[in-house]
A and B are shown apart, each in its own frame.
Chain A
């Protein structure tokens, strides 16, 4: 294919993906240095705590968003296959909590976990790990002071849910659980939700598919995110 000038047209999504890849590496380095700065500069007052919190939160939000963009690009070009294996759910949850420990600490969010240590399931640990991570980073911003992450088996599916005590998900997000288009609203792109739904749907077994459910009736009084995997 060529346009009027005879040159091949630019594949914009490819260009974008390459540059996102570079940006992501830079942000990773940034986060790394930030981690070191916080490590070597003990927090002295509330203002400093908040500043570190903001820096860290915003940087990891960019990082997360870029990773999601890349993953979605790979999904579309069929280069993100599901790598199913048996995993212990608690390993994945603990790893994500540990990864975001500093974020919760600087924002004074208390996290509670409820997961049977013997609960094992078949899923792609990297993909599910990044969905959980996204939700945690998001919750750290919208919750007041508590988060509850739990996993259990329910009607033959694994259910991982994350509850907060914030204001809950906006009505627009609750309304469109089946939409497969990225929704751009006042609150942002909801790319994370789109990504989570894609990852859920990529997990299928026989006739059953994974899904994501959002609600505002969590035990903590805020939003409730639930990922179901067959």
Chain B
């Protein structure tokens, strides 16, 4: 079989955990005339080989037995920039699991071949890939050298003479224009492509242009349409997430990330982004399970980090305050992950302290007072040896651990000191707010005031459903805010007095009353209002 010349100059690495397959592929490559071939039997060996050699071609199986998979190898090589842009990475696999392929595609393998592969299939594919590599080499070199203008000029040259690589060059050129801020040129390019056919990549590109031009609402609408038409279009989700960031809409951002994570559940970075966003929204069930998945996906990933592990513990600990049952299910896993930290990472003394304090909260949630106390003590001992001042996060971990260990007064004292110390640090105050009855930061005060105002407006117009929605949002964001809880009860009661009682609503109402009751005493300035609402609820329940 005739094939392109130039194979003899290539160096290749073949990665597979099966000896026989490595031999087969090596034989194929030798047949093509490849000059130098190395092999690796697992992910670690593959990475090591790639760090000490510049291969032109890596043929890597997805499934490499226990440990890193082919996807992890590619992910790390891309992350550490250990692969030249001119190198080809071909992922092979006997399985064609959708979520696996989707996650692998995030790291852009040059090709994906499903096993069994034959000599002919491999050769055809390599011929084409090498041809494309050669054709686009100068463009990639310009990009790697940081000379965007030169890369743009080269792309345009190629596109002027239509051919096999026109599409690839158009895609590259659009991205380059966008990076370069040449919005007009990008728009013209995408429109030209779209005139011929409605291709998703060009539609996403055009939406990105709109977004960059500041027309965020139109971009959101377009991207939404793309995702509805093609739910597997990951670049559209990524652009949508950016869009939500621009609009400062963390609720919508979470919704988009949840959708993206459902479509491609093995993507660690999106999972982590979702976990952080949900934690910011104080949507604890979502945050806790997303952190759990992030930690799991991180086992062999270069994107794993100690923060994900501690944050998983924090999310579960916080979840105990809202949904006991769900938290209990996750708590064993959380404790295991926390206990594993010293072995897996090299935690700083402060991180070690945080780990103990979070652990203490999870034990307390489980009702294991003894263990909770031991961990709290271990955490405090670690903190004492650290130079002041401690980070806000650490002190919050401490305050929460104190609180769930029955040391409410100490916790309050710590928080008061913390607020005093950070009087002028809005960012720090925003973090502290979650634990307080009333927020201290300007931003959070505004948020609460706005949500309350909207809720009360609807309540006064007897639009109870909308009012309840606003108070629920406020309640989720500020779980200790008594005023918000009372407003919610009032709106729920109002709705049932108008339209009749409803079991779900009644349940929510009494749960909210119970929560307030655990945090309020008769000296509280809202106690009178609370007592009145509780009375109304009792009457409604008797009806």
When the two chains form their complex, are residues B96 and A85 in contact, meaning their CB atoms are under 8 A apart? no
By a CB distance below 8 angstroms, the chain B residues around A61 are none
Known: A86-B167, A95-B121. A35 touches B200 (CB 8 A): no
By a CB distance below 8 angstroms, the chain B residues around A182 are none
When the two chains form their complex, are residues B118 and A35 in contact, meaning their CB atoms are under 8 A apart? yes
Interface string of B77-114 (1 = CB under 8 A from A): 00000000000000000111110000000000000001
When the two chains form their complex, are residues B94 and A91 in contact, meaning their CB atoms are under 8 A apart? no
When the two chains form their complex, are residues B128 and A85 in contact, meaning their CB atoms are under 8 A apart? no
Known: A25-B94, A81-B230. A91 touches B120 (CB 8 A): no
When the two chains form their complex, are residues B124 and A28 in contact, meaning their CB atoms are under 8 A apart? no
By a CB distance below 8 angstroms, the chain A residues around B201 are 85
When the two chains form their complex, are residues B116 and A88 in contact, meaning their CB atoms are under 8 A apart? no
When the two chains form their complex, are residues B20 and A36 in contact, meaning their CB atoms are under 8 A apart? yes
A205 CB-CB contact with B under 8 Å: yes
Q: How many residues of B contact A (CB 8 A)?
A: 32
When the two chains form their complex, are residues A84 and B124 in contact, meaning their CB atoms are under 8 A apart? no
When the two chains form their complex, are residues A99 and B197 in contact, meaning their CB atoms are under 8 A apart? no
CB distance from B531 to the nearest CB of A (A): 41
Known: A24-B96, A28-B95. A79 touches B231 (CB 8 A): yes
By a CB distance below 8 angstroms, the chain A residues around B114 are 28
By a CB distance below 8 angstroms, the chain A residues around B229 are 81
When the two chains form their complex, are residues A85 and B199 in contact, meaning their CB atoms are under 8 A apart? yes
By a CB distance below 8 angstroms, the chain B residues around A101 are 118, 120
By a CB distance below 8 angstroms, the chain B residues around A21 are 97
Chain A: number of interface residues, binned into ranges? 20 to 34
A175 CB-CB contact with B under 8 Å: no
By a CB distance below 8 angstroms, the chain A residues around B21 are 32, 36
When the two chains form their complex, are residues A32 and B116 in contact, meaning their CB atoms are under 8 A apart? yes
Known: A35-B118, A83-B200, A85-B167. A25 touches B95 (CB 8 A): yes
Q: In the complex, A36 Cα to B199 Cα: how many Å?
A: 40
By a CB distance below 8 angstroms, the chain B residues around A99 are 118, 120-121
CB distance from B126 to the nearest CB of A (A): 12
Residue from the set A29, A86, A95 with the largest chain B CB neighbour count within 10 Å: A86
| Option from A28, A39, A81 in Cβ contact (under 8 Å) with B94 | A28
Interface string of B151-172 (1 = CB under 8 A from A): 0000000000000101100000
A78 CB-CB contact with B under 8 Å: yes
Q: In the complex, A95 Cα to B111 Cα: how many Å?
A: 13
| Option from B95, B124, B166, B199 in Cβ contact (under 8 Å) with A94 | B124
CB distance from A147 to the nearest CB of B (A): 16
A98 CB-CB contact with B under 8 Å: yes
B232 CB-CB contact with A under 8 Å: yes
Query: Which residues of A are at the interface with B, using a C-beta cutoff of 8 A?
Result: 21, 24-25, 28-29, 31-32, 34-36, 39, 67, 74, 78-79, 81-86, 88, 91, 94-95, 97-99, 101-102, 120, 122, 205
